[in-house]
Amino acid sequence: MGILERIASMPERLVIGVASSGSASAVRVALLRLKGTGLSLSWTLLAHDSLEYSFKVRDLILRCSEPGGGDATLICRLNVLLGELFARAATHIAGRAGLGIGQIHLIGVRGQTLQNLPAPVTLTGVAVRSTLQVGEPAVVAERTGVTTVGGFGARDLAAGGQGSPLVSYVDYLMFRHRARGRLVISLESLTSLTAIPASAGPDDIIGFDIGPGSMMVDDLIAELTGGSETRDTDGRYARRGTVLRGLLARLLEHPFLQQPPPRSCGREEFGRHFLKEILRENPGASREDLLATLTRFTAEAVAGACRRYVMPHNVYEEAVVSGTLVLNRYLMEQVREAIPELTLTESGEYGLPVSSKEAVCYAILANESALGTPNGFPTVTGAGRPAVLGSITPGFSGPAAPRQ
C-alpha cells in the first residue's frame, strides 16, 4: 500500500499545519485531529502556537520580499533555513500535545511568500503569472519523516487563480450555515474575506484579499524603533495618536482597493517601499499619529470591501473574525465602529482560537490534497477549475523496502 493510501485509509488523521506569517514575524503551527474530507470533514484542535522569527531571519526574508530584492544565493539558503525552522515548529507542536513527531500522519506547509506576482507579464514571449514561497517541504519531510504538502499557491496560480485567499475553502467548510449568511474576515499581516450566504454551495462563495493588515503597522514599528520592536501590541501607540485625515483619504484611494475581485495582494502593494513613501510624504508626523492612521486604514479597508463587493449581493448578519490581529483590541474597536451593521464574533467562539487560524487552514488543505479532494476554490481565486492544490513530499514509510 502506498503512503497516500495508508493516510487515506485511516479513520482519523493527526495533521500539523505550519504557516509562515505574511508579516515575516513568526511561524504559526497547529496540530489537529481530522476525520473525513470535504463537507464531511470534522476537526479537533489539539495544540497551537506561534514561534517568533529572530530579527536576523526577518531581515533576510524582507530583503528578498521587495521588488527586485534578494539574490539567488540568499534565496537558495533561505528556502532551506525556513524548512529547518518549520520542521522544528512541527516537532515542537507534537511535543506540546504529548506526541512524538513519528505519530503524526501529515504536515501542511505554507511557505513564506517572497514575491506574489499574479498579474501576467510577457517574458520571452510567454505569459507568466507567478508566486514564490520559501520553506523547503523536502527538508520538513526529511527531518520529521512525515509526508508534507506544500506549494498550494503555486498550483492555484498555474490553474489561473490569484493564489489567494486559499483560506476561503476552509472558511466554507467551517462556517457555512443553513440559515445564516456569514462573512469570515481574516485579519493577519494582510486581510482577506470570505462571504458565505445562507445555504451556500461552493459556487456561491465570494472571497478575496482585502488589503493591508498588520504588515504595514509592524513594518512601521520596526522602522521607527530600528527593529527593537516589531508590533504595536494591542494598539498601544495607535491609541494615543490622532488619525491624519488627509493621509487616510489618500491611502483609501490605493489602486488595489479599487480593483474588483478576484484579487490578491502582498508586499508588492503594501511592503516597505510603500511605507517609505508615506514617511517621506509625512515627515513631521508622529509615530502615534501614523499608527493611528494605518490602523484606521485597515479598519476602513475592511468595511469598504464588505460594503462594496459583498453586502449588496446578499444578506449577512454576522462577521466571524480571526487572525492574530484580532488580538489588537484597538483595531477591533475600529473595525466594529466602521461596520456597525454587522455582529462581530471572534472565531474563538466557534472553537477556533483567532491566532491559530492560518496554521489550522494549512493542516486542512493538506488533508484534502493527500486525499485527492479538490481544495482550490475557482469562484474565489478565479482559477479555471477546482484543482487539488499542492505538491506532496513523501515521509518515511517505515524502514526502506529492500530493492527488488
Give residues 199-228 in contact with a copy of itself (rule: CB under 8 A).
202
Q: How many residues bind a copy of itself (CB under 8 A)?
A: 81
Of 30-38, 235-243, 251-259, 319-327, which part binds a copy of itself (CB under 8 A)? 30-38
Contact, 12 vs 33, CB < 8 A? Answer: yes
Nearer to a copy of itself, 215 or 291 (CB): 215
Buried b / exposed e across 286-323, counting CB within 10 Å, b at 16+? Answer: ebbbbbbbbbbbbbbbbbbbbeebbbeeeebeebbbbb
CB 211 within 8 A of CB 185: no
Cα 75 from Cα 80, distance rounded (Å):
9
Residue 390 in contact with a copy of itself, rule: CB under 8 A? yes
Is the CB of 209 or the CB of 232 nearer to a copy of itself? 209
Decide if residue 72 touches a copy of itself (CB under 8 A).
Answer: yes
Residues 6 or more apart whose Cβ sits within 8 Å of residue 284:
none
Choose between 330 and 362: whose C-beta lies nearer to a copy of itself. Answer: 362
Q: Report, in Å, the least distance between residue 242 CB and a copy of itself.
A: 37
For the bound state, the minimum distance from the C-beta of residue 56 to a copy of itself, rounded and expressed in Å, comes to 5
81/93 with CB nearer a copy of itself: 81
Residue that the C-alpha cell 488619525 belongs to:
243
Spell out a b/e string for 236-252, using b for 16 or more CB atoms within 10 Å of the CB, else e.
ebbbebebbeebbeebe
Name the minimum Å distance from CB 125 to a copy of itself. Answer: 8
The SS3 of residue 245 is helix
* Binding region for a copy of itself (CB under 8 A) out of 119-127, 224-232, 273-281, 291-299: 119-127
Closer residue to a copy of itself in complex, CB, 136/232: 136
Q: Is 115 in the site for a copy of itself (CB under 8 A)?
A: yes
For a copy of itself, the closer CB: 115 or 381: 115
Q: Which three cell numbers stand for residue 160?
A: 489561473
- Report 120-159 residues binding a copy of itself (CB under 8 A): 121, 123-124, 126, 128-132, 136-139, 141-143, 150-151, 154-155, 157-159
* Pairing label, strands 126-134, 190-196: unpaired
User: 3 or 279, CB closer to a copy of itself?
Assistant: 3
The count of C-alpha atoms lying within 13 angstroms of the C-alpha of 106, restricted to the half-sphere facing its C-beta, is: 31
C-alpha closest to that of 167 among 137, 147, 187? 187
Separation CA 400–CA 404 (nearest Å)? 12
**Cβ at position 392, least distance to a copy of itself in Å:** 5
CA distances from 273 to 118, 223, 230, 318 (A): 19, 12, 17, 36
Cβ–Cβ under 8 Å, residues 28 and 18: yes
Write down the least CB distance from residue 27 to a copy of itself, Å: 13
Given the rule CB under 8 A, which of 26-34, 70-78, 240-248, 303-311 is the region that contacts a copy of itself? 70-78
Q: Which of residues 297-316 bind a copy of itself (CB under 8 A)?
A: none
Nearer to a copy of itself, 246 or 372 (CB): 372
Q: How far is the CB of 36 from a copy of itself (least distance, A)?
A: 8
Per-position x/- string for 157-176, each x denoting binding to a copy of itself as judged by CB under 8 A, each - no binding? xxx-----------------
| DSSP of 277-302 | HHHHH-TT--HHHHHHHHHHHHHHHH
- State which residue, 339 or 389, has the beta carbon closest to a copy of itself: 389
Tell me phi and psi for residue 35, to 5 degrees: -125, 145
Amino acid identity of residue 104, one-letter, is I
CB of 3 to a copy of itself, least distance (A): 6
Q: Show contacts with a copy of itself in window 319-378 (CB under 8 A).
A: 369, 371-374
